[in-house]
């Protein structure tokens, strides 16, 4: 017994040494930023800048029905990404941006703040949707020939400024000198910033993260004697070496920036598959200021592309479909020819995390309640007798009898409602401080429970805002709906989130909610995801 306790203490101290630098007071104030080229989101207003195939009433069939499908498809992707800030490319106008904003609201994803670079009459533009306040916008003009502007946006992130430059550089139908014009305009504005300023370069640069290597032998592109905008002018390259996190943080000056594509395996470094050629035109590039102990910081190793199965059709990116091999009428299906990319940021100090295997070669047996005291990141914990008490898509809630419940996000596809499992937790996340399981393996099915109701919380007595009740499932409760609040019991209330706005009742309506989970999104809230959960 003494040896067992001693081993636990040693393991804890090792973990503390590895992960302790990332600890911070209170909840983890993390947020996600997404970049998505939505492939020609046009409105239904006729403009001289309209592409012929997007002229309302034209021969290509761009109409309200196709626009409605396009909006719905893009909104579904962005809702699944669940980001606080969205950088968009190929948005035609403020009208089309507002339509997307409205559609997102209808599916339960609210972005009250927006901006678009509309100073020049280009066919498509850069734009932003945000849950954080926008305190300043600037349109950086590029060249003299009506090139697309770069959108500069300053956000207030809980009292901390963050600058985002949204880019959509010239396509590779033109040589590198055209993209150099964009890089020069962007670099000139960056030079005005002080050292240590938190800024992000994001968007469709129409340049690979290692463009200096990939374009060398292509004569129609290399009209600049090997110099590239993204690598040499923006400075993701130092001399002949691509900038790594280590190189970035060890530099005394602030002129270099780091392209987050380098954080993931090389075979995943692509967001566009153009006739079998996989490229990385979309990038998130971060400044040295995001690696210090003040303001905003990058959450190390959080970058990736978003590539669920539904964004593919026969192993190809499921772009917006048109007949005649992409040259004919709109078919009213598909998404975009680009995959979205994303990364997480925080108001806590930066620290490096390890992607190595966890300290324990064998998983440590812990309770679900113990998971609440662990940090986000890699884990190696064996959970026994976890019962699935809630299931929706590839999400679930598992709970141990007389113990706690926890949300399983995006990795619960094989788990079934009311079934009991042993499983190993490989990854933990904290969504606004609320723990959730984001990686599992070695799932062992133990059988079906016959007493599922014993795992629910019931009656008006509990205070649903109690932190110990996060992720629990309420069997049934009656109350009154009022302006996003659910009033219940003896003068108690909790926020209520209803994913389908059509199910939203009028104020002061008596409602009953059944089999709903208690989630957390800046505050505790009851989450209604299905029609049968609310009456």
Calculate the average pLDDT of the chain.
Answer: 89
- Over 90: is that where the pLDDT of 11 sits? no
What's the rounded Cα separation, in Å, for the pair 367 and 402? 11
- Tell me, what DSSP letter sits at residue 534? B
Task: State in Å, rounded, how far the first CA of the chain is from the last one.
Answer: 53
**Tokens linked to 193:** 């910033």
The pLDDT tens digits of the residues spanning 400-411 come to: 999 999 999 988
Per-residue confidence band for 74, with pLDDT thresholds at 50, 70 and 90: very high
In terms of Cα–Cα distance, which of 185, 182, 153, 184 is closest to 166? 153
Q: What is the CATH code for 31-346?
A: 3.60.10.10
What string of H, E and C letters represents the secondary structure of 247-258? Answer: HHHHCCCCCCEE
- Over 70: is that where the pLDDT of 424 sits? yes
- Neighbouring residues of 163: CB distance < 8 A, sequence distance ≥ 6: 152, 153, 154, 155, 193, 197, 198, 199, 200
| pLDDT of res. 209 | 96
What's the rounded Cα separation, in Å, for the pair 213 and 226? 9
- Over 80: is that where the pLDDT of 237 sits? yes
Q: Which of 205-209, 229-233, 251-255 has the lowest mean pLDDT?
A: 251-255
Q: What is the CATH code for 456-533?
A: 2.40.50
Q: With pLDDT > 70 as the criterion, what percentage of the chain qualifies?
A: 92
Mean pLDDT of the 176-194 span: 97
Per-residue confidence band for 502, with pLDDT thresholds at 50, 70 and 90: confident
Residue recorded with tokens 């629910």: 456
What's the rounded Cα separation, in Å, for the pair 111 and 131? 5
What's the rounded Cα separation, in Å, for the pair 474 and 455? 9
In terms of Cα–Cα distance, which of 346, 341, 526 is closest to 431? 346
What's the rounded Cα separation, in Å, for the pair 500 and 497? 9
- Please report how many Cα atoms fall inside a 13 Å half-sphere around the Cα of residue 365, on the Cβ side: 5
What's the rounded Cα separation, in Å, for the pair 432 and 103? 24
Please say whether the beta carbons of 354 and 379 come within 8 A.
no
- Over 80: is that where the pLDDT of 13 sits? no
Q: What angle do CA 259, 264, 268 make, to 5 degrees?
A: 105
Q: Are strands 30-41 and 85-91 parallel, antiparallel or unpaired?
A: parallel
- Neighbouring residues of 126: CB distance < 8 A, sequence distance ≥ 6: 87, 88, 89, 91, 116, 117, 148, 149, 150, 151, 166, 167, 168, 203
The pLDDT tens digits of the residues spanning 197-219 come to: 999 999 999 999 999 999 988 99
Query: Selecting from 1.20.140.10, 2.40.50.200, 3.40.109.10, 1.10.40.30, what CATH number does the domain 356-451 have?
Result: 2.40.50.200
- Over 80: is that where the pLDDT of 15 sits? no
Per-residue confidence band for 25, with pLDDT thresholds at 50, 70 and 90: very low
**Tokens linked to 25:** 């007071």
Please say whether the beta carbons of 426 and 440 come within 8 A.
yes
State how far Cα 455 lies from the chain centre.
32
| pLDDT of res. 377 | 77
What's the rounded Cα separation, in Å, for the pair 333 and 47? 24
Tell whether the torsion through CA atoms of 375, 433, 245 and 211 is positive or negative.
Answer: positive
Which of 226-240, 250-264, 428-442, 491-505 holds the top average pLDDT?
A: 226-240
Per-residue confidence band for 10, with pLDDT thresholds at 50, 70 and 90: very low
Burial state string for 452-485 with b = 16 or more CB within 10 A and e = fewer than 16: beebbeeeeebebbeeebbbbbbbebebebeeeb
What residues are paired with 436 via a beta bridge? 407, 429
The pLDDT tens digits of the residues spanning 155-184 come to: 999 999 999 999 999 999 999 999 999 999
**Tokens linked to 342:** 């994303």
| pLDDT of res. 520 | 80
Q: How many CB atoms lie within 10 A of CB 306?
A: 17
What's the rounded Cα separation, in Å, for the pair 86 and 110? 12
| pLDDT of res. 535 | 87
- Please report how many Cα atoms fall inside a 13 Å half-sphere around the Cα of residue 467, on the Cβ side: 10
What's the rounded Cα separation, in Å, for the pair 374 and 387? 21
**Tokens linked to 263:** 């954080």
In terms of Cα–Cα distance, which of 402, 298, 312 is closest to 352? 298
| pLDDT of res. 275 | 74
Mean pLDDT of the 277-291 span: 96
Q: What share of the chain is helix, strand, coil (3-state, %, to 5)?
A: 20, 35, 40
Please say whether the beta carbons of 180 and 229 come within 8 A.
yes
The pLDDT tens digits of the residues spanning 456-479 come to: 988 666 888 888 888 999 888 888
In terms of Cα–Cα distance, which of 38, 48, 114 is closest to 78? 38
Per-residue confidence band for 16, with pLDDT thresholds at 50, 70 and 90: very low
The pLDDT tens digits of the residues spanning 329-386 come to: 999 999 999 999 999 999 999 988 755 433 345 888 999 999 988 877 788 999 999 9
- Neighbouring residues of 528: CB distance < 8 A, sequence distance ≥ 6: 496, 497, 498, 499, 500, 503, 513, 516, 534
Range list for CATH 3.60.10.10 in the chain: 31-346
Q: How many CB atoms lie within 10 A of CB 266?
A: 9
Tell whether the torsion through CA atoms of 249, 252, 254 and 257 is positive or negative.
Answer: negative
């Amino acid at each position: 017994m003494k040896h067992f306790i001693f081993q636990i203490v040693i393991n804890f101290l090792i973990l503390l040494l590895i992960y302790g630098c990332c600890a911070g007071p209170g909840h983890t104030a993390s947020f996600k930023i997404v970049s998505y080229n939505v492939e020609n989101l046009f409105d239904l207003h006729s403009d001289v800048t309209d592409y012929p195939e997007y002229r309302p009433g034209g021969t290509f069939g761009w109409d309200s029905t196709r626009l409605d499908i396009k909006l719905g498809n893009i909104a579904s992707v962005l809702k699944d990404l669940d980001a606080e800030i969205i950088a968009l490319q190929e948005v035609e106008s403020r009208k089309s941006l507002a339509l997307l904003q409205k559609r997102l609201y209808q599916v339960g994803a609210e972005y009250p703040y927006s901006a678009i670079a509309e100073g020049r009459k280009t066919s498509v533009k850069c734009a932003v949707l945000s849950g954080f306040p926008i305190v300043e916008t600037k349109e950086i003009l590029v060249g003299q020939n009506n090139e697309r502007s770069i959108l500069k946006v300053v956000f207030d992130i809980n009292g901390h400024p963050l600058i985002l430059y949204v880019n959509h550089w010239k396509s590779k139908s033109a040589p590198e000198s055209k993209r150099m014009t964009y890089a020069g305009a962007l670099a000139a504005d960056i030079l005005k910033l002080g050292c240590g300023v938190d800024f992000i370069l994001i968007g469709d640069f129409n340049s690979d993260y290692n463009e200096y290597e990939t374009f060398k032998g292509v004569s129609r592109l290399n009209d600049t004697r090997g110099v590239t905008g993204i690598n040499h002018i923006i400075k993701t390259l130092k001399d002949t070496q691509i900038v790594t996190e280590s190189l970035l943080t060890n530099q005394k000056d602030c002129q270099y920036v780091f392209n987050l594509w380098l954080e993931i395996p090389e075979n995943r470094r692509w967001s566009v598959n153009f006739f079998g050629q996989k490229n990385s035109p979309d990038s998130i590039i971060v400044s040295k200021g995001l690696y210090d102990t003040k303001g905003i910081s990058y959450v190390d190793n959080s970058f990736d592309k978003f590539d669920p199965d539904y964004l593919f059709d026969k192993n190809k990116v499921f772009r917006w479909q048109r007949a005649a091999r992409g040259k004919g009428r709109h078919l009213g299906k598909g998404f975009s020819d680009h995959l979205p990319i994303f990364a997480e940021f925080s108001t806590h100090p930066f620290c490096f995390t390890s992607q190595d295997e966890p300290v324990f070669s064998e998983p440590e047996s812990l309770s679900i309640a113990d998971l609440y005291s662990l940090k986000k990141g890699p884990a190696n914990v064996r959970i026994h007798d976890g019962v699935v008490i809630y299931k929706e898509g590839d999400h679930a809630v598992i709970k141990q009898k007389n113990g706690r419940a926890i949300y399983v996000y995006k990795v619960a596809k094989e788990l079934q409602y009311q079934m009991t499992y042993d499983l190993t937790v490989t990854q933990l996340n904290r969504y606004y401080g609320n723990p959730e399981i984001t990686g599992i393996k070695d799932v062992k099915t133990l059988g079906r429970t016959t007493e599922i109701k014993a795992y629910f919380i019931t009656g008006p007595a509990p205070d649903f805002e109690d932190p110990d009740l996060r992720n629990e499932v309420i069997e049934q409760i009656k109350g009154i709906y009022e302006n996003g609040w659910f009033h219940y019991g003896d003068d108690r209330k909790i926020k209520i989130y209803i994913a389908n706005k059509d199910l939203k009742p009028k104020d002061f309506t008596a409602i009953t909610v059944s089999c709903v989970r208690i989630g957390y999104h800046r505050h505790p809230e009851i989450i209604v995801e299905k029609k049968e959960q609310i009456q």
